[in-house]
Chains A and B, each alone.
Chain A
Amino acid sequence: GAVVSQHPSRVICKSGTSVKIECRSLDFQATTMFWYRQFPKQSLMLMATSNEGSKATYEQGVEKDKFLINHASLTLSTLTVTSAHPEDSSFYICSASWSQGEDSPLHFGNGTRLTVT
């Protein structure tokens, strides 16, 4: 089945530094990938839609200068949390679908636990 790899699974960084999270579709091409943020005991919040070869589409309230998204190829999207602060600590998950059809399920990476100290 379709596999999405997310790296790193866990990262701890100091306040003010930047962290890059990678999301790869291993066995299919994904023209669109999605980035979510999940708070403890809460559902997934869509942060942005990453489109290969073009700018990402951010959801309302998400700072695009803080959460930089790059989708340079059909199999790789990256999320960079710039100048991280403790409030950015969260679980970040990416997803992708091999088809744009409505009946195609999203396939998710295993998530990245970011802790900012």
Chain B
Amino acid sequence: AQSVAQPEDQVNVAEGNPLTVKCTYSVSGNPYLFWYVQYPNRGLQFLLKYITGDNLVKGSYGFEAEFNKSQTSFHLKKPSALVSDSALYFCAVFGGYQKVTFGTGTKLQVIP
């Protein structure tokens, strides 16, 4: 069975500072990993994905994520946080078309 863990319910970071939102996964076989962002009362927006290739994946809005196979992690990062980045972030693992597992979400609060 596949699983995703987001160990932090909330991450606070000052505007302009780098941010990291953590995600670890457990799958059998090759992982297909995704990050989504959700703003209040909205659906989820796709940020980026890792399928294969470079371990550092670049996505929308300046976000990137680093895939680490040995640590089974896929942490989301951004070099300089914006107040507008404040939202709920979900890590997800896809294990086949109908096998999508989401993490519990991490609320990112960027402090002006």
Residues of chain A at the chain B interface (Cβ within 8 Å): 4, 6, 9-10, 32, 34, 41-44, 46, 49, 57, 91, 93, 95, 97, 100-103, 105-111, 113
**B98 near A49 (CB under 8 angstroms)?**
yes
Chain B residues within 8 Å of A, Cβ to Cβ? 32, 34, 36, 41-46, 49, 51, 90, 94-98, 100, 102-105
17 A–B contacts, CB within 8 A, in A order: A43-B90, A43-B102, A43-B104, A44-B44, A46-B100, A49-B98, A57-B98, A97-B97, A102-B32, A102-B51, A102-B96, A103-B51, A105-B34, A107-B46, A108-B44, A109-B43, A113-B41
Question: What 10 additional pairs, Cβ within 8 angstroms, besides A44-B44, A110-B41?
Answer: A32-B98, A34-B100, A42-B104, A49-B98, A91-B41, A102-B95, A103-B51, A108-B36, A110-B42, A113-B41
B37 to chain A, nearest CB (A): 11
Assuming A91-B41, A110-B42, is B102 touching A102 (CB within 8 A)? no
- When the two chains form the complex, which single residue of B32, B36, B98, B100 contacts A103, counting CB atoms closer than 8 Å? B32
Q: Which 6 A-B pairs have the closest CB atoms?
A: A108-B43, A108-B44, A103-B51, A110-B43, A105-B46, A43-B104
Q: Chain B contacts of A113 at CB under 8 A?
A: 41
B87 to chain A, nearest CB (A): 13
Q: Is the CB of B43 within 8 A of A6?
A: yes
The chain B residue with its CB closest to the CB of A113 is B41
- What's the Cα separation between A4 and B45 when bound, in Å? 11
Closest chain B CB from A67 CB (angstroms): 18
Q: A6–B41 Cα gap in the complex (Å)?
A: 12
Q: Which residues of chain B are within 8 angstroms of A43 by Cβ–Cβ distance?
A: 90, 102-105
Chain B residue numbers with a CB within 8 Å of A105 are 34, 46, 49
**Chain B positions within 8 Å of A49 at CB level:** 98
User: What is the distance, in angstroms, from B53's C-beta to the closest C-beta of chain A?
Assistant: 11
When A105-B46, A110-B42, A111-B41 are in contact, do A44 and B90 touch as well, CB less than 8 Å? yes
